[in-house]
Amino acid sequence: MTIHSTNPFAADPDPVRRFRGRLGGAVSLWTAGAEDDRAGLTVSSLMVANGEPARVLGLLDPDSAFAERLAATGLAVVHLLEWEDHGLADVFGGVAPAPGGAFRLGQWTQAVHGPVLADRTHALVRLETLTDIGWSALATTTVEEIVMVADRQPLEHRRGRYQRHDG
């Protein structure tokens, strides 16, 4: 039993995080590197800009192994995840363990741009710029190829929780 309706020891909620959480959106997995030196990162802060060339922009953790790998190779794969991938999203987001490494989960093939998760819509992208912005790194990439796969139940993120969307 408690007399408090909220956690009395929690820090005041960050209004920017709360605003961003209410935007919601698709959950993506960005991967880069080769078999012996690959990395990935779950990203939900991203957008696509149509044009010639089309671009994918994502806010990355600047201290992540993925950001380092992307800067080194200049190439990446941006996957759109399905509901069944929510465990994979947690692993690549650094909030769940992966004994033996994150790439032991799922079925992967290796492409020039990086590891490709089987049966997922993905874009092969080339890094244009990587700029520090706020507490993130803004990756601006150009789209070189897109592979479309039928949506089953796209994985979405809203207000700190995964949600399934019947595609």
pLDDT digits (tens, 9 = 90+) for 106-129: 999 999 999 999 999 999 999 999
- List pLDDT tens digits, range 13-60: 778 777 777 777 899 999 999 988 999 999 999 999 999 999 999 999
Query: Has residue 101 been placed in a domain?
Result: yes
Phi, psi of 42 (to 5 degrees): -75, 130
Instruction: Please check whether residue 53 lies inside any domain of the structure.
Output: yes
Among the listed residues 147, 142, 116, 145, the one whose alpha carbon sits nearest the alpha carbon of residue 130: 142
Is 6 a domain residue? no
pLDDT at 156: 86
What is the pTM (predicted TM-score) of this model?
Answer: 0.89
pLDDT band (50, 70, 90) for residue 167: low
Q: What is the CATH number of the domain that holds 51?
A: 2.30.110.10
Structural domain that includes position 130: 26-164
Within a domain: residue 111?
yes
pLDDT at 14: 79
**Token pair listed for 88:** 């994979």
Domain-located, residue 4: no
44, 71, 84 from 103: Cα distances, Å:
19, 20, 16
The C-alpha atoms of residue 125 and residue 32 are separated, in whole angstroms, by 10
DSSP 102: G
Residue 15 lies in a domain: no
Number of domains composing the chain: 1
How does the average pLDDT of the chain come out, rounded?
A: 91
What 3-state class would DSSP assign to 83?
Answer: helix
Residue 13: inside a domain, yes or no? no
Q: Please indicate, yes or no, if residue 160 is contained in any of the structural domains.
A: yes
* Percent above pLDDT 90 for the chain: 72
* 133-160: average pLDDT: 93
pLDDT at 1 over 60: no
Query: Which is it for strands 155-158 and 161-164: parallel, antiparallel or unpaired?
Result: antiparallel
